[in-house]
């Protein structure tokens, strides 16, 4: 995951820098080893980032000069920030759990005085784009998610239902610069 994250996040900050405009703080939910926030803070040094993951994950001496690490449970509480970042987290969960997670994210950005958005990087299965390799990869990942976690990759209509079900007013979708992931900006 860290290897794929390096390539994807480098392309994200290069191709879509406007996503980070005006943000002062960002929490990477499920941020693991901090790979994403290291790249984000390298591109946007003014942005204060926090890696938020399970306590045993961040207890492994996860420290950085440009980011903090906080242990916790995303189903209980997410630290407040201008933006919450979730990369390949939601496809690990069923629809009801995704709605619960996105509601926690919404609470976190709304409780920040400059709260603005939630940034999701995940697969959107697109059977209409006429790219057979992208569809094949998405469907393979879908089977993998079902077998490993009882979860799934989602079509656009499924994402739409989850986003609105979590109480967001609107969202933007950008194709990921690499691979089958997309970037979804959610606004409270």
Task: Note whether 102 and 122 are within 8 A (CB).
Answer: no
- Of 18, 91, 130, 170, which is the active-site residue? 91
The verdict on whether 18 is a catalytic residue reads no
- Give the span between the Cα atoms of 21 and 3, in whole angstroms: 26
User: Could you give the residue numbers annotated as active site?
Assistant: 91
């Amino acid at each position: 995951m860290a290897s794929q994250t390096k390539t994807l996040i480098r392309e994200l900050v290069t191709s879509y820098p406007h996503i980070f405009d005006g943000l002062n703080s960002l929490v990477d939910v499920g941020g693991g080893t901090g790979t994403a926030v290291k790249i984000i803070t390298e591109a946007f040094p003014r942005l204060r980032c926090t890696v938020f993951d399970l306590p045993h994950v961040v207890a492994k001496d996860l420290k950085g000069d440009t980011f903090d690490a906080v242990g916790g449970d995303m189903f209980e509480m997410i630290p407040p920030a201008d933006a919450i970042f979730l990369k390949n987290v939601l496809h690990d969960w069923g629809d009801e759990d995704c709605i619960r997670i996105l509601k926690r994210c919404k609470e976190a950005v709304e409780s920040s005085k400059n709260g603005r958005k939630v940034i999701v990087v995940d697969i959107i299965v697109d059977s209409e784009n006429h790219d057979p390799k992208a569809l094949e990869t998405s469907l393979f990942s879908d089977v993998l998610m079902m077998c490993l976690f009882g979860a799934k990759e989602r079509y656009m209509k499924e994402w739409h239902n989850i986003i609105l079900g979590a109480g967001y007013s609107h969202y933007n979708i950008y194709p990921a610069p690499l691979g089958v992931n997309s970037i979804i900006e959610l606004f409270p």
